[in-house]
Amino acid sequence: MSVLAFASHAPRAAESPGGDDGSIALGPSNAFVTSPTVREITDRALAYLEAGYAVHFSGPAGTGKTTLAFHVAAQLGRPAILLHGDHEFGSSDLIGRESGYRKSRVVDNYISSVVKLEEEGRALWIDNRITTACRLGHSIIYDEFNRSKPEANNPFLSILSEGVLNVPALHGRGEGYVNVHPQFRAIFTSNPAEYAGVYATQDALLDRMVTLRFGHYDRAAEIAITVSKSGLDRDRAARVVDLVRLCRSEGRDPNYPTLRASIAIARVLAARGGEASFRNPVFLWACRDILSPAAPNGKSEGAASSAFVDLLLRRFESAAVNDEAATRSDRRRDLQAPQLEGGT
Ligand SMILES: Nc1ncnc2c1ncn2[C@@H]1O[C@H](COP(=O)(O)OP(=O)(O)O)[C@@H](O)[C@H]1O
Ligand SMILES: [Mg+2]
């Protein structure tokens, strides 16, 4: 996922003359699904942001963190700058860097026989995204920030606690401290499990933000999102979501497969048609391809993990048949009930 979920975002014109400031304007997206849980987390995040705190969405992959970060940033109504954590980042990639050298030359030749040459060099400074956001009061969405090395994220320590960005390389020019614009806000996301052991997230940084923990959405929200992102009808989307949730509870990892698997299977089904049943070959191979990495033995390729998916499909199918039978008999009972009452 990413920016594309917000179809209405558009590159924003530079706020200051001299070029694009790299920000995007976020607007509402028709594909965004709200549910009571989504509304609640959005409200909580906005309350912390309005009170001046940075927020941090932490949780497993596919739980809607990035999507919600965009949604919340859109509510702030400010241009947003997007950063994606990267282990190659150094802090100069985030706060700025020297971009060359400006030379001015003074030629002093009052006296035609004497030419005095004076050269002055001045490094040109390129504001990078954090510096730009701090100066102009943009919102920063820093997705998967714990993929970056902790030292690259150090500039955020003083931004978030003192409201000042320290740019050591500019100290010589008297511009070394940038006061953070009062409307600057930051939304971080991270997946602690995925990057455990890569870079431990800095405690000092976490201490300066409010962390909201994400889990998988409830069934109703997962169905609504799957419908919205695939165009599949609700009944078939519900079957896909139920199968993926079953796979999550029976497979190798309770957080895997994610909502992305439901969306992927649903999209294939929407494109190719047919029932969400193993009797439909399209559904069968899509489930095998997309879900088999979730098998307890899913990391080793091969027939065993497909067999796990087949087993789930059969169990799922017979449960659905039983459900249908139960619903039919419920309906029969409902139809009979008034007659019975009337008869007594
Ligand atoms: N509220 C929502 N409305 C619509 N689509 C959503 C919503 N939340 C998540 N999604 C979709 O679910 C998938 C996973 O969401 P994403 O935000 O990328 O998760 P994460 O960042 O936690 O890995 C994406 O395809 C995304 O578009
Ligand atoms: Mg994400």
Domain count, the chain: 2
Q: Domain check: are 181 and 233 in the same one?
A: no
Q: Give residue 1 CA to ligand 2 midpoint distance, Å.
A: 7
CA distance 309 to 299: 14
Q: Domain check: are 187 and 59 in the same one?
A: yes
Q: What is the CA radius of gyration of the chain?
A: 28
Task: Point out the ligand nearest to the CA of residue 62.
Answer: 1
For residue 63, the ligand 1 atom closest to its alpha carbon is 22
Q: What is the pLDDT of residue 333?
A: 54
Tens of pLDDT, residue by residue over 6-16, are 323 333 333 33
Does residue 196 register a pLDDT over 50? yes
Q: Is the CB of 5 under 6 A from ligand 1?
A: yes
Q: What is the pLDDT of residue 117?
A: 54
> Is the CB of residue 68 less than 8 Å from the CB of residue 116?
no
Share of the chain above pLDDT 70, in %: 70
Average pLDDT on 294-318 reads 82
Rounded to the nearest 10 degrees, how much is the dihedral formed by the CA atoms of 297, 301, 304, 308? 60
Q: Domain check: are 169 and 293 in the same one?
A: no
The residue out of 180, 213, 246 marking a domain boundary is 213
Tens of pLDDT, residue by residue over 152-164, are 888 899 999 999 9
Q: What is the pLDDT of residue 97?
A: 57
186 pLDDT band, cuts 50/70/90, is very high
In a domain, 115, yes or no: no
Does residue 73 register a pLDDT over 60? yes
> Is the CB of residue 96 less than 8 Å from the CB of residue 167?
yes
298 pLDDT band, cuts 50/70/90, is low
List the domain range (segments joined by +) for residue 83. Answer: 3-91+128-213
Does residue 313 register a pLDDT over 50? yes
Q: What is the pLDDT of residue 244?
A: 97
In a domain, 96, yes or no: no
Q: Domain check: are 57 and 189 in the same one?
A: yes
Q: Domain check: are 170 and 274 in the same one?
A: no
In a domain, 119, yes or no: no
98 pLDDT band, cuts 50/70/90, is low
The residue out of 179, 213, 247 marking a domain boundary is 213
Does residue 259 register a pLDDT over 90? yes
Q: Which tops the pLDDT comparison, 12 or 316?
A: 316
339 pLDDT band, cuts 50/70/90, is very low
For residue 34, the ligand 1 atom closest to its alpha carbon is 1
Amino acid letter, 54: A
- H or E stretch at 286: helix 281-291
Q: Domain check: are 330 and 238 in the same one?
A: yes
Q: Ligand 1 pocket check: which of 8, 38, 67, 72 to mutate, most ligand atoms within 8 Å of Cβ?
A: 67
Q: Give residue 41 CA to ligand 1 midpoint distance, Å.
A: 14
CA distance 219 to 39: 16
Q: Domain check: are 199 and 264 in the same one?
A: no
- Mean pLDDT, the chain, integer: 80
Rounded to the nearest 10 degrees, how much is the dihedral formed by the CA atoms of 181, 182, 184, 186? 130
In a domain, 180, yes or no: yes
CA distance 129 to 82: 8
Q: Is the CB of 262 under 6 A from ligand 1?
A: no
C-alpha distance across the termini of the chain, in Å: 61
Q: Domain check: are 266 and 173 in the same one?
A: no
CATH (domain of 74): 3.40.50.300
For residue 57, the ligand 1 atom closest to its alpha carbon is 22
Q: Is the CB of 38 under 6 A from ligand 1?
A: yes
CA distance 205 to 198: 17
Q: Which tops the pLDDT comparison, 298 or 80?
A: 80
In a domain, 208, yes or no: yes
Q: Is the CB of 263 under 6 A from ligand 1?
A: yes
State the pTM of this model. Answer: 0.80
The residue out of 213, 243, 271 marking a domain boundary is 213
Tens of pLDDT, residue by residue over 26-55, are 887 888 999 998 999 999 999 999 999 999
Instruction: Give the SS3 label for residue 85.
Output: coil
Q: Is the CB of 280 under 6 A from ligand 1?
A: no
Strand 10-11 to 24-25 pairing: antiparallel
